C-alpha cells in the first residue's frame, strides 16, 4: 500500500512532463496508476472476504509515536476499489474532455493523481494522525483542482471557500483525534477503539471529530461549499465531489461507527444534520436550471442520506450504508460525466436551452438513464438494492428509526423527482424550445461513463456476491439477530411497497413542479453561506484594524516602540528590584575624565549637527576619544583597533559623503524631534543605570582569571586578548569574519550593479545629482589631477606599511597587534595609495580581486580549523610546534597563527572591497554621468 | 568591584546621542547613531571587567592585569561595526542614487492598510468577495503607488 501511495506521488511529479510530451493522451498513461490501485485491491479480495485486514507498518517519527500504520479492512477495501477504479475512469475521460493545448493540463494531471494518492492513503490509514495528514492533503489538492482556472474569480473564491471550510473542520477533527489518542496512549485506531474514554471528554472529542467529517462531506451547516465547488472542471466534480473526497467524511463516520455508534452524542448529531441536509439538498436540486448544480445539490442530499443510514448504527443499516456508498459513487460519477459530455456536445448545461438531445445521442441517454435509475432506486440497479436494505433495516427498528424512515422516504420522493428533472432537462424534447444541435460524441469520451453505469447495473444484479464481500464490515457491529442480506428480490415485502410509493410520489412531485406553480421558496433555518461570508469579512476587518494599528510601516516608529519597551521593562526592573551599589569611584585616573569629556561633548554635538561632514568629524572625534579611554583602561589591542577602524571609517565616510548633499534634508517637525530626544535620553539613562548596577553586581570570580595561564600553556602566546580571539574563543572570531565577508559582499552588490532598471532616476523631481555644487576629492582614473609628490611618497611608504602590518600580524600573539589590527593597517596602506592616485594606483597596489582575498582568508581560517580536526584535535585547536631549522636555529611555531592569517586576509579584503566599491566604482559612475551630461549639453546646443 | 562613574556617564551620553540619531529618517544620521551606540555598548561591556595593566603575560603581575575577556569581545564588535558601517554607507549611497535622498521611507503597503483601517474597510481581496478594488489596483498600480509614497514621505 505504501508503494502504491509512493507511485502516485512520483507520477504526480512527472505528469507535467508527460503532458508536455504527449498532450492530453498522457492522461491515459497517468490513469494506469489508479488503475493499478484497483487491480491490486482486486487481488486482495479473497482475504478481505474472509475478514482478514491487510496490515503494513513503517516507523516514521518514533519520538512522537508516529508510524505509517496502514490497515485495509472491508470498508477500506471498498474505498480503495472506488478511489482506484473511478479515478482511472475519470482520468481516461479527462483525456477526451480537455484539449491538448489547455495550459493548465499538466498541473491538472499532476494534482489529480496526487489527490488520488492522498485519498488512497486516507482510506488505508490506521494511525489517526496519518489519516489527518492525508485528510488535509486531499483538502489542499482539492483546492488546487477547484481553482483549476485561476484567472476566474468565481473559481478562486469557490476554491478558497472549500479550503477554509474543510480545513476548519479538519483542525477540529485533529483536536478530537488528539483527545482520543492521548487518552488511549496510541493513535492506532484499531487500538484506540478498544480504549475509549467516557463522559464529557468523549462527547467533546466525538463532536470535534464529527465537525471534520460533516464539513468534509458538505453536511448542514457546511453544505454551501459543495455547490460552489462546481466551478471546477467536470472530471474534478465527478471524482472529488461525487465519488472520492466528499466520501472521506462518510468513510470516517463508517470507520468509527462500529466503536462509537452507541455513544452519545454520535447518533443524534448524524441523524438530525443528515436529515436536514437530505431534505434541503433535494429541494434545492429541484429548483436548479444548471444540470451540474442540480447534480451537486443531489449529491448534498445523498450525502445526508448516507450520514443518516450510517449514523443509525446497527448491523443492517451499516450494510445498507456501505452498499449505498458503492452505489452512489457509481451512479453519481456517471451522471457528472454525462453532464460533461452534454456540455461539450451542445455547449450548454442549462436545461431550459436543451431539447431533443436524447433523440440525437441515444447512447448517451441510455448511459445516463441507467445511472439515473440507480439514483432513483429502480431495480435492478445498485441504488435499488441499497435503498431496499436501508428501508428494511429501519423498518424493524424502534420508534426513532421509524421517524428516520419517514424522513428517508420523504428524501427518496425528492430524489426521484430531481432524477426525473435531470433526465427531462438533459434529454427530453421540449415543445417550446428549439432542438439543440449536438456534435458527434466519440466513443472513448463516452466509454468511462458507460463502464461506470454498467458497473452499477452489475452490482445490482450480483447483489448476493456483493453482500458476501461487504458483510464483514457490517458484522463489526455486535448484533444478536441473524442479519439482512443484500438481494434484488426479497419477495413482496413492505419495504418494496414503500419504495414503489416513493417512486410514485417522486413522479407526482416532478409533474407538479413542471407546472411552475409550486415553486415555493424554502429557506434553510440557518444559512451557512451567509454565515461564512459574514465571518470572513469580520476577520478581514479585524486583520486590517489590527495591522493598521500595529504595523505602521515606519522604521522610527518600530524602533521607538522597541526602545520604549526597553525603558519601561528593564528600566522598571532596575528601579524596582536591584540593589544599587553604595560605593563607586569617579575614575581610575583623572585622564579618563578628560577623555570622557571629549567623547561626551563630541557625541552631543554630533547629534545636533546639521551638516553631514561636521557630524562625521564629531563622530570620529568621539571614536578617537573612546580609543584613548581604552588605553587608559589597559587595553592596548582595543585602542589600536579602535584607532584604525575609526580612520578607515572616516575614509569611507569621505568617499560616500562627497556624493551626498552637504546638509541633511530638512529637519523633522519640532514636536517629533522632541520625542526622539526624549526617547534617546531615557534610553541613555536606563543604560547608564544598567552599567552602574552591573559593574557593582559581580559576585562570582570572572572566568577570565585563568586566561593568562591558559594563554601561555595551551595557546602558546603572551597576548591574552589575541590568544582569546584565535584560540579560547575562536568560534566567535570565526562567526565574526563570516559576517565581514557577508558585509563586504553586500557593499559590492549595492554599488556594482548592471541592471538598467535599477539605475538612477536623475530626472525625477527633487532627485538626481547635486549638479551645482563643486565636486571634491574626485580621484580620477588617471593621475592627472593628483599631486605627483604625494603619489611618489605613498609609493615609497606603501611597502614599509605593508611590511609593518605583517610584523603586527605575527607579533600579535605576544604583543599588541594581531590579525585585525594588521589587516586594518594594510588596508589603510591601500587607502592611501587610492587617495593619492585614484583607481589605477589602487589596482597597481593590489592587482587582485577583493572577493578572491576574502575567499582566500575564509579558506585559510576554516582550513586551519579543519586541519586540527583531521589531525585528531578539536576544530581550531592550537598546536605548539618546536623544531630545529639548520640556519635559523630553534623555531617556535603556533598553528593558530594560520587562523590569524585568515583573519588578516579577510580584513584586507574588506577594506579593498570598500575602496573598490565606494571609491573606484563611484568614481567611474561619476565619470559616466559627467560624460552623459556633456553629451546632453552638446545635443542641446545643436 | 565598584562602578567607575566616568564610564557610566559616557555610556549614558553615547547611548542617548546614538538613539536620538537612530530615530531619524536620514540613513547617514541613522548610521552615525549606530556608530555612537556601538561605542557606548563597547564601553558598557568594558565596565564588566576591571581596569589595570595590559593583559600581556610578563608585563605585569596577573593580579594587576585588566580583564581580557571583555576586551576580546569588544575587539570583534569594533570590527563588525566597521563592516556594518560600510554596508549602511553603501545603502545610503544607493538610496540617494535611486531616489535623490537617503531617507528611510514608510512602507507603502503598510500605508495602504492604514488607509483601509481609517476608512473602516476590509482588504477587499477578490477571494473574500467584498469588492472589486484589486482589479482597479491592477489597472493602475503606478497611480496608487505614487499616491501612497507621497503620503509616506509627508508622514
Min Cα–Cα distance to chain A from B137, Å: 15
Read off the pLDDT of each residue in A610-631 and give the average, rounded to a whole number. Answer: 92
On whether both B117 and B94 belong to a single domain, the answer is no
pLDDT of A487 strictly over 90: no
Q: Is there a domain that residue A927 lies in? A: yes
Report the domain count for chain B: 2
* Structure ipTM: 0.81
On whether both B33 and B51 belong to a single domain, the answer is yes
DSSP string for A719-746: BHHHHIIIIITHHHHHHHHHHHHHHHHH
pLDDT at A704: 84
pLDDT higher at A67 or A192: A192
- Residues of chain B contacting residue A679, judged by C-beta atoms under 8 Å apart: 19-20, 23
Q: What percent of chain B has pLDDT over 70?
A: 79
Min Cα–Cα distance to chain B from A147, Å: 11
Q: Is there a domain that residue A787 lies in? A: yes
Residue B11: which of A157, A537, A691 has the nearest Cβ?
A691
On whether both B89 and B18 belong to a single domain, the answer is yes
Query: How would residue A526 be classed by pLDDT, with cut points 50, 70 and 90?
Result: low
Min Cα–Cα distance to chain B from A240, Å: 21
Interacting residues of A216 by C-beta distance below 8 A, sequence separation 6+: A135, A139, A166, A169, A170, A245, A246, A248, A249, A252
pLDDT at A198: 82
Q: At what angle do helices A382-395 and A362-376 cross, to 10 degrees?
A: 10
Task: Count Cβ atoms below 10 Å from residue A705 Cβ, excluding itself.
Answer: 14
pLDDT at B140: 38
Instruction: For A363-395, write each residue's pLDDT tens digit.
Output: 999 999 999 999 998 888 888 999 888 888 888
pLDDT at B149: 40
Instruction: For A213-252, write each residue's pLDDT tens digit.
Output: 999 998 888 888 888 888 888 999 999 877 788 899 999 9
pLDDT at A227: 85
Q: Is there a domain that residue A803 lies in? A: yes
Task: Count Cβ atoms below 10 Å from residue A723 Cβ, excluding itself.
Answer: 32
Of B99, B116, B138, the residue at which a domain comes to its end is: B99
Cα A909 from Cα A850, distance rounded (Å): 5
Phi/psi of residue A60, nearest 5 degrees: -120, -70
Asked if the Cβ–Cβ distance from B3 to A695 is below 8 Å, we say yes
pLDDT at A773: 46
On whether both B26 and B79 belong to a single domain, the answer is yes
Q: Which of residues 134 through 153 in chain B touch A, CB cutoff 8 A?
A: 152
Instruction: For B32-80, write each residue's pLDDT tens digit.
Output: 999 999 999 999 999 888 888 888 888 788 888 888 889 999 999 999 9
Which residue in B has a C-alpha nearest to residue A723's C-alpha?
B72
- End-to-end C-alpha distance for chain A, whole angstroms: 82
Q: Which of A603, A632, A914 to mutate to test the interface with B (most CBs of B within 10 A)?
A: A603
On whether both A319 and A183 belong to a single domain, the answer is yes
Q: Which of residues 526 through 585 in chain A touch B, CB cutoff 8 A?
A: 533, 536-537, 540-541, 543-545, 547-549, 551-556, 559-560, 563, 581, 583-585
pLDDT at A599: 94
Q: Is there a domain that residue A573 lies in? A: no
Q: What cell does A222 get? A: 457546511
Read off the pLDDT of each residue in A183-196 and give the average, rounded to a whole number. Answer: 87
- Residues of chain A contacting residue B99, judged by C-beta atoms under 8 Å apart: 761, 764, 767
- Residues of chain A contacting residue B37, judged by C-beta atoms under 8 Å apart: none
Instruction: For A108-121, write each residue's pLDDT tens digit.
Output: 999 999 999 999 99
pLDDT higher at B108 or A35: A35
Asked if the Cβ–Cβ distance from A688 to B29 is below 8 Å, we say no
Q: Which of A149, A549, A579, A687 to mutate to test the interface with B (most CBs of B within 10 A)?
A: A687
Query: How would residue A766 be classed by pLDDT, with cut points 50, 70 and 90?
Result: very low
Read off the pLDDT of each residue in A187-204 and give the average, rounded to a whole number. Answer: 88
Query: How would residue A880 be classed by pLDDT, with cut points 50, 70 and 90?
Result: confident
Residue B90: which of A732, A751, A907 has the nearest Cβ?
A751
Residue B55: which of A585, A642, A708 has the nearest Cβ?
A708
Cα A622 from Cα A608, distance rounded (Å): 14
* Residue B2 contacts A, CB cutoff 8 Å: yes
Instruction: For A828-850, write each residue's pLDDT tens digit.
Output: 999 999 888 888 888 888 888 88
Q: Which of residues 671 through 710 in chain A touch B, CB cutoff 8 A?
A: 676-677, 679-681, 683-685, 687-688, 690-696, 698, 702-705, 707-709
Instruction: For A696-712, write each residue's pLDDT tens digit.
Output: 777 788 888 888 888 88
pLDDT of A609 strictly over 60: yes
Q: What cell does A95 get? A: 483525456
Residue B29: which of A664, A733, A740 has the nearest Cβ?
A664
Instruction: For A14-63, write each residue's pLDDT tens digit.
Output: 998 888 888 888 899 999 999 999 999 999 888 888 878 888 888 877 77
Q: Which of B76, B92, B119 to mutate to test the interface with A (most CBs of A within 10 A)?
A: B76
On whether both B92 and B141 belong to a single domain, the answer is no
Please compute, for residue A743, the number of CA atoms within 13 A of its CA located in the half-sphere on the CB side: 24
On whether both A118 and A17 belong to a single domain, the answer is yes
Of A477, A494, A524, the residue at which a domain comes to its end is: A524
Q: Which of residues 55 through 114 in chain B touch A, CB cutoff 8 A?
A: 55-58, 62, 65-69, 71-76, 78-87, 89-94, 96-104, 106-111, 113-114
Q: What cell does A3 get? A: 508503494
Instruction: For A298-324, write each residue's pLDDT tens digit.
Output: 999 999 999 999 988 888 889 999 999
Q: What percent of chain A has pLDDT over 90?
A: 37
pLDDT at B130: 41
Asked if the Cβ–Cβ distance from B120 to A541 is below 8 Å, we say yes
Burial label for A862, CB within 10 Å (0-12, 13-18, 19+), is middle
How many CB pairs below 8 Å do chains A and B form together?
382
pLDDT at A209: 93
Interacting residues of A395 by C-beta distance below 8 A, sequence separation 6+: A401, A402, A405, A494, A495, A498
Residue A414, domain extent: 2-524
Q: What cell does A488 get? A: 434484488
Strand A66-72 relative to strand A54-61, pairing: antiparallel
Q: Answer for the pair A711, A728: CB distance below 8 angstroms, yes or no.
A: yes
pLDDT higher at A886 or A926: A926
On whether both B33 and B94 belong to a single domain, the answer is yes
Q: Which of residues 177 through 216 in chain A touch B, CB cutoff 8 A?
A: none
On whether both A379 and A448 belong to a single domain, the answer is yes
pLDDT of A171 strictly over 50: yes
On whether both A373 and A440 belong to a single domain, the answer is yes
On whether both B75 and B93 belong to a single domain, the answer is yes
Of A501, A524, A547, the residue at which a domain comes to its end is: A524
Of A688, A721, A736, the residue at which a domain comes to its end is: A688
Min Cα–Cα distance to chain B from A773, Å: 15
On whether both A682 and A709 belong to a single domain, the answer is no
On whether both A650 and A785 belong to a single domain, the answer is no
pLDDT at B128: 42
Query: How would residue A341 be classed by pLDDT, with cut points 50, 70 and 90?
Result: very high
On whether both B75 and B133 belong to a single domain, the answer is no
Q: What cell does A42 get? A: 482486486
pLDDT at B131: 39
Read off the pLDDT of each residue in A552-581 and give the average, rounded to a whole number. Answer: 87
Q: Which of A147, A567, A635, A719 to mutate to test the interface with B (most CBs of B within 10 A)?
A: A635
On whether both B41 and B64 belong to a single domain, the answer is yes
Report the domain count for chain A: 3
- Looking at every residue in chain A, the average pLDDT score rounds to 86
pLDDT of A886 strictly over 80: no
On whether both B55 and B75 belong to a single domain, the answer is yes
Read off the pLDDT of each residue in A93-110 and give the average, rounded to a whole number. Answer: 88
pLDDT at A492: 79
On whether both B80 and B61 belong to a single domain, the answer is yes
Element (H or E) spanning B76, and its range? Answer: helix B68-99
Residue A622: which of B5, B36, B102 has the nearest Cβ?
B36
pLDDT of A670 strictly over 70: no
Residue B112, domain extent: 108-154
pLDDT at A776: 53
On whether both A731 and A683 belong to a single domain, the answer is no
Element (H or E) spanning B81, and its range? Answer: helix B68-99
pLDDT at B134: 40
Residue A533: which of B69, B117, B129 has the nearest Cβ?
B129
On whether both A715 and A672 belong to a single domain, the answer is no
pLDDT at B137: 37
pLDDT of A689 strictly over 70: yes
Q: Is A127 helix (H, G, I), strand (E, B) or coil?
A: strand
Q: What cell does A765 get? A: 523631481
Which residue in A has a C-alpha nearest to residue B75's C-alpha?
A638
Asked if the Cβ–Cβ distance from A680 to B18 is below 8 Å, we say yes
pLDDT at A823: 94
Cα B5 from Cα B17, distance rounded (Å): 18
pLDDT at A523: 55
**Could you tell me the maximum CA-CA distance found in chain B, to the nearest angstrom?**
79
Cα dihedral sign, B69-B75-B78-B83: negative
Read off the pLDDT of each residue in B97-117 and give the average, rounded to a whole number. Answer: 80
b/e per residue, A268-284, with b = 16+ CB within 10 A?
Answer: ebbbbbbbbbbbbbbbb
Asked if the Cβ–Cβ distance from A676 to B20 is below 8 Å, we say yes
pLDDT at A765: 41
On whether both A746 and A802 belong to a single domain, the answer is yes
Q: Which of residues 710 through 729 in chain A touch B, CB cutoff 8 A?
A: 711-712, 718-721, 724-725, 728-729
On whether both B77 and B136 belong to a single domain, the answer is no
Instruction: For A266-298, write each residue's pLDDT tens digit.
Output: 889 999 999 999 988 888 888 888 899 999 999
Interacting residues of B115 by C-beta distance below 8 A, sequence separation 6+: B148, B151
- Residues of chain A contacting residue B93, judged by C-beta atoms under 8 Å apart: 656, 659-660, 750-751, 918, 922
Residue A704 to residues A734, A787, B50, B63, B71, Cα–Cα distance (Å): 20, 51, 11, 12, 11
On whether both A502 and A649 belong to a single domain, the answer is no
pLDDT at A697: 78
On whether both A663 and A747 belong to a single domain, the answer is no
Q: The CATH number of the domain where B62 resides is what?
A: 1.10.287
Which residue in A has a C-alpha nearest to residue B53's C-alpha?
A634
pLDDT at A757: 43
On whether both A723 and A630 belong to a single domain, the answer is no
pLDDT of B29 strictly over 70: yes
- Residues of chain B contacting residue A746, judged by C-beta atoms under 8 Å apart: 87, 90
pLDDT higher at B106 or A256: A256
Q: What percent of chain A has pLDDT over 70?
A: 93
b/e per residue, A463-479, with b = 16+ CB within 10 A?
Answer: beebbebbbbbbbbbee
Residue A506 to residues A320, A415, A640, A840, Cα–Cα distance (Å): 22, 7, 98, 96
Residue A546 to residues A145, B101, B110, B111, B146, Cα–Cα distance (Å): 33, 32, 12, 13, 25
Between A71-85, B61-75, B117-131, the lowest mean confidence (pLDDT) is in B117-131
The CA-based angle A42-A257-A213, given to 5 degrees, is: 90
Q: Is A520 helix (H, G, I), strand (E, B) or coil?
A: coil
Amino acid at each position: 500500500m505504501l508503494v502504491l501511495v509512493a507511485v502516485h506521488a512520483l507520477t504526480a511529479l512527472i505528469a507535467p512532463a508527460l503532458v508536455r510530451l504527449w498532450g492530453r493522451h498522457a492522461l491515459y498513461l497517468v490513469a494506469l496508476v489508479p488503475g493499478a490501485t484497483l487491480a491490486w485491491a482486486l487481488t486482495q479480495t479473497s482475504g478481505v472476504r474472509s475478514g482478514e485486514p491487510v496490515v503494513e507498518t513503517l516507523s516514521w517519527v518514533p519520538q512522537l509515536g508516529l508510524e505509517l500504520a496502514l490497515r485495509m479492512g472491508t470498508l477500506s477495501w471498498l474505498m480503495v476499489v472506488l478511489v482506484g477504479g473511478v479515478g482511472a475512469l475519470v482520468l481516461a475521460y479527462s483525456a477526451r474532455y480537455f484539449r491538448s493545448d489547455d495550459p493548465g493540463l499538466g498541473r491538472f494531471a499532476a494534482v489529480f493523481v496526487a489527490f488520488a494518492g492522498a485519498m488512497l492513503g486516507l482510506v488505508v490509514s490506521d494511525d489517526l494522525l496519518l489519516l489527518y495528514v492525508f485528510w488535509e492533503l486531499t483538502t489542499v489538492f482539492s483546492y488546487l483542482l477547484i481553482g483549476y482556472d485561476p484567472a476566474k474569480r468565481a473559481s478562486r473564491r469557490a476554491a478558497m471557500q472549500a479550503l477554509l471550510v474543510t480545513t476548519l473542520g479538519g483542525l477540529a477533527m485533529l483536536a478530537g483525534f488528539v483527545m482520543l489518542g492521548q487518552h488511549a496512549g496510541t493513535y492506532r485506531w484499531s487500538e484506540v477503539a478498544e480504549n475509549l474514554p467516557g463522559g464529557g471528554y468523549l462527547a467533546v472529542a466525538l463532536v470535534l471529530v464529527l465537525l471534520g467529517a460533516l464539513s468534509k462531506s458538505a453536511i448542514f451547516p457546511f453544505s454551501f461549499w459543495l455547490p460552489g465547488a462546481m466551478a471546477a472542471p467536470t472530471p474534478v466534480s465527478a471524482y472529488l465531489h461525487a465519488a472520492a473526497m466528499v466520501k472521506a467524511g462518510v468513510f470516517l463516520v463508517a470507520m468509527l461507527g462500529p466503536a462509537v455508534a452507541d455513544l452519545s452524542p454520535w447518533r443524534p448529531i448524524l441523524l438530525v444534520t443528515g436529515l436536514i441536509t437530505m431534505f434541503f439538498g433535494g429541494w434545492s436540486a429541484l429548483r436548479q436550471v444548471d444540470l451540474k448544480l442540480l447534480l451537486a445539490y443531489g449529491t448534498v442530499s445523498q450525502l445526508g442520506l448516507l450520514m443518516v443510514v450510517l449514523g443509525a448504527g446497527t448491523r443492517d443499516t451499516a450494510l445498507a450504508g456501505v452498499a449505498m456508498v458503492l452505489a452512489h459513487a457509481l451512479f453519481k460519477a456517471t451522471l457528472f460525466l454525462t453532464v460533461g459530455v452534454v456540455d461539450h456536445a451542445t455547449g450548454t448545461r442549462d436545461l431550459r436551452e436543451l431539447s431533443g438531445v436524447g433523440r440525437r445521442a441515444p447512447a448517451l441517454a441510455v448511459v445516463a438513464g441507467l445511472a439515473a435509475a440507480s439514483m432513483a432506486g429502480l431495480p435492478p440497479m445498485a441504488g435499488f438494492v441499497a435503498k431496499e436494505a436501508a428501508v428494511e433495516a429501519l423498518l424493524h427498528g424502534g420508534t426513532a428509526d421509524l421517524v428516520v424512515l419517514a424522513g428517508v422516504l420523504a428524501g427518496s420522493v425528492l430524489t426521484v423527482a430531481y432524477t426525473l428533472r435531470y433526465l427531462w432537462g438533459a434529454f427530453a424534447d421540449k415543445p417550446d424550445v428549439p432542438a439543440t444541435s449536438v456534435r458527434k460524441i466519440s466513443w472513448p469520451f463516452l466509454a468511462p461513463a458507460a463502464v461506470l453505469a454498467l458497473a452499477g447495473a452489475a452490482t445490482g444484479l450480483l447483489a448476493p456476491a456483493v453482500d458476501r464481500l461487504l458483510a464483514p464490515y457490517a458484522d463489526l457491529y455486535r448484533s444478536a439477530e441473524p442479519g439482512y442480506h443484500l438481494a434484488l428480490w426479497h419477495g413482496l415485502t413492505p419495504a418494496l411497497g414503500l419504495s414503489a410509493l416513493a417512486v410514485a410520489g417522486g413522479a407526482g412531485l416532478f409533474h407538479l413542479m413542471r407546472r411552475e406553480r409550486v415553486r415555493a421558496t424554502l429557506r434553510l433555518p440557518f444559512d451557512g453561506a451567509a454565515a461564512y461570508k459574514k465571518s470572513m469579512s469580520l476577520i478581514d476587518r479585524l486583520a486590517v484594524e489590527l495591522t493598521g494599528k500595529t504595523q505602521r510601516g515606519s522604521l522610527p516608529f518600530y524602533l521607538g516602540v522597541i526602545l520604549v519597551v526597553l525603558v519601561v521593562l528593564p528600566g522598571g526592573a532596575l528601579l524596582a528590584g536591584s540593589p544599587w551599589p553604595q560605593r563607586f569611584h569617579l575614575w581610575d585616573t583623572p585622564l579618563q575624565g578628560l577623555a570622557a569629556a571629549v567623547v561626551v561633548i563630541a557625541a552631543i554635538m554630533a547629534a545636533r549637527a546639521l551638516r553631514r561632514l561636521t557630524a562625521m568629524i564629531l563622530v570620529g572625534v568621539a571614536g578617537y576619544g573612546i580609543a584613548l579611554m581604552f588605553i587608559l583602561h589597559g587595553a592596548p589591542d582595543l585602542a589600536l583597533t579602535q584607532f584604525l577602524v575609526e580612520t578607515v571609517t572616516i575614509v569611507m565616510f569621505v568617499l560616500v559623503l562627497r556624493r551626498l548633499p552637504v546638509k541633511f534634508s530638512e529637519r523633522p517637525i519640532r514636536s517629533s524631534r522632541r520625542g526622539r530626544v526624549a526617547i534617546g535620553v531615557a534610553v541613555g539613562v536606563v543604560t547608564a543605570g544598567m552599567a552602574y548596577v552591573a559593574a557593582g553586581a559581580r559576585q562570582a570570580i570572572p572566568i577570565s582569571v585563568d586566561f593568562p595561564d591558559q594563554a601561555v600553556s595551551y595557546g602558546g602566546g603572551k597576548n591574552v586578548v589575541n590568544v582569546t580571539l584565535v584560540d579560547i574563543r575562536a568560534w566567535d572570531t570565526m562567526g565574526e569574519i563570516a559576517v565581514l565577508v557577508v558585509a563586504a559582499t553586500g557593499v559590492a552588490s549595492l554599488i556594482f550593479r548592471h541592471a538598467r532598471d535599477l539605475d538612477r532616476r536623475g530626472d525625477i523631481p527633487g532627485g538626481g545629482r547635486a549638479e551645482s555644487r563643486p565636486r571634491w576629492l574626485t580621484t580620477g582614473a588617471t593621475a592627472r589631477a593628483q599631486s605627483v609628490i604625494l603619489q611618489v611618497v605613498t609609493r615609497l611608504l606603501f611597502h614599509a606599511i605593508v611590511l609593518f602590518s605583517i610584523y603586527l600580524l605575527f607579533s600579535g600573539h605576544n604583543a599588541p597587534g594581531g590579525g585585525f589590527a594588521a589587516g586594518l593597517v594594510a588596508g589603510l596602506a591601500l587607502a592611501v595609495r587610492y587617495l593619492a592616485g585614484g583607481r589605477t594606483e589602487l589596482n597597481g597596489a593590489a592587482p587582485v580581486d577583493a572577493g578572491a582575498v576574502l575567499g582566500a582568508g575564509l579558506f585559510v581560517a576554516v582550513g586551519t580549523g579543519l586541519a586540527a580536526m583531521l589531525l585528531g584535535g578539536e576544530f581550531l585547536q592550537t598546536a605548539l610546534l618546536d623544531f630545529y631549522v639548520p640556519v635559523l636555529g630553534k623555531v617556535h611555531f603556533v598553528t593558530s597563527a594560520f587562523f590569524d592569517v585568515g583573519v588578516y586576509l579577510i580584513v584586507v579584503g574588506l577594506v579593498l572591497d570598500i575602496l573598490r566599491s565606494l571609491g573606484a566604482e563611484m568614481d567611474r559612475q561619476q565619470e559616466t554621468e559627467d560624460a552623459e551630461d556633456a553629451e546632453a549639453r552638446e545635443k542641446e546646443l545643436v | 568591584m565598584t562602578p567607575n562613574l566616568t564610564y557610566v556617564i559616557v555610556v549614558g551620553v553615547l547611548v542617548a546621542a546614538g538613539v536620538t540619531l537612530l530615530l531619524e529618517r536620514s540613513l547617514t544620521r541613522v548610521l552615525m547613531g549606530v556608530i555612537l551606540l556601538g561605542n557606548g555598548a563597547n564601553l558598557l561591556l568594558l565596565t564588566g571587567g576591571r581596569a589595570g595593566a595590559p593583559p600581556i603575560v610578563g608585563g605585569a603581575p596577573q593580579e594587576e592585569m585588566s580583564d581580557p575577556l571583555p576586551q576580546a569581545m569588544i575587539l570583534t564588535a569594533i570590527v563588525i561595526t566597521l563592516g556594518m558601517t560600510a554596508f549602511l554607507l553603501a545603502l545610503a549611497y544607493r538610496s540617494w542614487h535611486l531616489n535623490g535622498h537617503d531617507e528611510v521611507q514608510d512602507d507603502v503597503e503598510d500605508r495602504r492598510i492604514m488607509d483601509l483601517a481609517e476608512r473602516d474597510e476590509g482588504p477587499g481581496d477578490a477571494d473574500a468577495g467584498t469588492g472589486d478594488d484589486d482589479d482597479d489596483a491592477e489597472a493602475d498600480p503606478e497611480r496608487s503607488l505614487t499616491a501612497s509614497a507621497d503620503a509616506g514621505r509627508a508622514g
